[in-house]
Amino acid sequence: MAALDNLEQFEQCHYIIINNMSNLSGKNKRNRILKFVLIFGIILVLLTLLFYIFNLTIKGKGGNIELKIKTKEQAGDNNPPKPLTCTRTTRLKNDQKYDRALSLVYEKVYQGEEHQSVWTSYNYFPAQLVNCIKVDAKNVKAEMKAEGYFDFNNKDIRPDYFPVTIDAVTYEYSDDLTTALLLVHEITHVQQYIMRPSCYKEGKFKLGEVVTSCEGFCLNNEVAAFYSQLLFINQLNDEEKKSLYFRIENDKELHPQLEMLQTLQKSLNSQIIGDCDVYNHECIMRKINWKIQTILEESGAYDEQCSLN
């Protein structure tokens, strides 16, 4: 009987213990869940804060980048890009007829540099620049009534590569000398662009040989280009000059380059030399430039290009 009582007491104790353990286990489980929820909530808040801070940082950096770009662009307005250069020691590959003309230009300009001639004094372009000229032939006259042009908006322009375009019809069978005359004109424009690229990229196109900034007149560029042609002719030997002048006097259908030379020859009379001392090159240059400008203004050939009206 006593054993039975002891067994019942043991079972009661066991029940109480099991029941208490169940209650304790349930409480622990709830505590663990609450703790997990609390920790998860804290982590979520921290992640949200980190994401917000990171987003602000990125935006801040983006703002700095944008500011730097604007600053660089604004600085570029006041600081023109570095001048383009020609460092080639051999000529670019061109059609043979144009390469011969370029060779003639190089020869005469180089001789001028060697002998410190009048060409060197005004330095319209160095002989080395000829090595970086690429001649393209197109039907220019049909499109714009011109013998040729240098397009300063051409995307192919880069250091050591300057494309000029000439009329394919007019210069297909021209002799080297008359082609060289046109190329001298266009290469002078290339040199003007090299010296002041920012003026051209801003669409001002107002650089003459005596202008040191973007201020000036488009017509000065053309005056300088025609004057460089006269200086080039001055570099020719006697036989080459005789050939040109003979054609000017006798050709019934005069080549366009020689027509302009004929006009200049008639206009540049001895009075210009008489007004200046024979050794005063600056005075003579001013007089000749003034005369060329007068001819171009009267012809109206550059009225649209230079907005003269």
Q: Are residues 68 and 104 in the same domain?
A: no
Q: Are residues 50 and 159 in the same domain?
A: no
pLDDT digits (tens, 9 = 90+) for 63-80: 433 333 333 334 444 554
184 versus 294: the higher-pLDDT residue is 184
pLDDT digits (tens, 9 = 90+) for 17-65: 445 544 545 555 566 666 666 676 677 667 776 666 655 554 444 443 3
pTM of the model: 0.68
pLDDT of residue 16 exceeding 50: no
Query: Percent of the chain, pLDDT > 70?
Result: 63
Q: Are residues 44 and 161 in the same domain?
A: no
In the predicted model, what is the mean pLDDT of residues 97-102?
97
Cα–Cα dist 236/177, whole Å: 10
Let me know if residue 14 belongs to a domain. no
Residue 113 domain boundaries: 96-299
Q: What is the pLDDT of residue 239?
A: 95
Let me know if residue 263 belongs to a domain. yes
Q: Are residues 117 and 254 in the same domain?
A: yes
Cα–Cα dist 2/185, whole Å: 134
Q: What is the pLDDT of residue 72?
A: 38
Neighbours of 129 (CB within 10 A): 21
Q: Are residues 223 and 152 in the same domain?
A: yes
Let me know if residue 13 belongs to a domain. no
DSSP character for 301?
T
Q: Are 167 and 139 contacting, i.e. CB atoms less than 8 angstroms apart?
A: yes
pLDDT of residue 299 exceeding 50: yes
Q: What is the pLDDT of residue 219?
A: 83
In the predicted model, what is the mean pLDDT of residues 249-278?
80
Q: Are 235 and 120 contacting, i.e. CB atoms less than 8 angstroms apart?
A: no
Alpha helices in 115-217 (DSSP H): 118-122, 140-144, 168-171, 176-195, 197-201
Q: Are residues 190 and 55 in the same domain?
A: no
Q: Are residues 136 and 55 in the same domain?
A: no
Query: Percent of the chain, pLDDT > 90?
Result: 31
Chain mean position to CA 96: 28
Residue 287: pLDDT band (50, 70, 90) is confident
117 versus 83: the higher-pLDDT residue is 117
Q: What is the pLDDT of residue 74?
A: 40
Q: Are residues 57 and 137 in the same domain?
A: no
Question: Which residues are within 8 A (CB) of 289 and not within 5 positions of it... i.e. 6 or more apart?
Answer: 223, 224, 227
Let me know if residue 278 belongs to a domain. yes
188 versus 209: the higher-pLDDT residue is 188
Let me know if residue 136 belongs to a domain. yes
9 versus 30: the higher-pLDDT residue is 30
229 versus 9: the higher-pLDDT residue is 229
Mean pLDDT of the chain: 75
Number of domains in the chain: 2
Q: Are residues 150 and 230 in the same domain?
A: yes
Let me know if residue 268 belongs to a domain. yes
Q: Are residues 38 and 139 in the same domain?
A: no
Let me know if residue 207 belongs to a domain. yes
Phi, psi of 22 (to 5 degrees): -65, -45
Let me know if residue 25 belongs to a domain. no
| Residue that terminates a domain, selected from 18, 45, 76 | 76
84 versus 270: the higher-pLDDT residue is 84
Neighbours of 239 (CB within 10 A): 7
Q: Map tokens 């980190």 to a residue.
A: 50
Q: Are residues 284 and 175 in the same domain?
A: yes
Residue 167: pLDDT band (50, 70, 90) is very high
pLDDT digits (tens, 9 = 90+) for 118-160: 655 556 799 999 999 999 999 988 888 789 999 988 999 999 9
Q: Are residues 101 and 219 in the same domain?
A: yes
pLDDT of residue 309 exceeding 60: yes
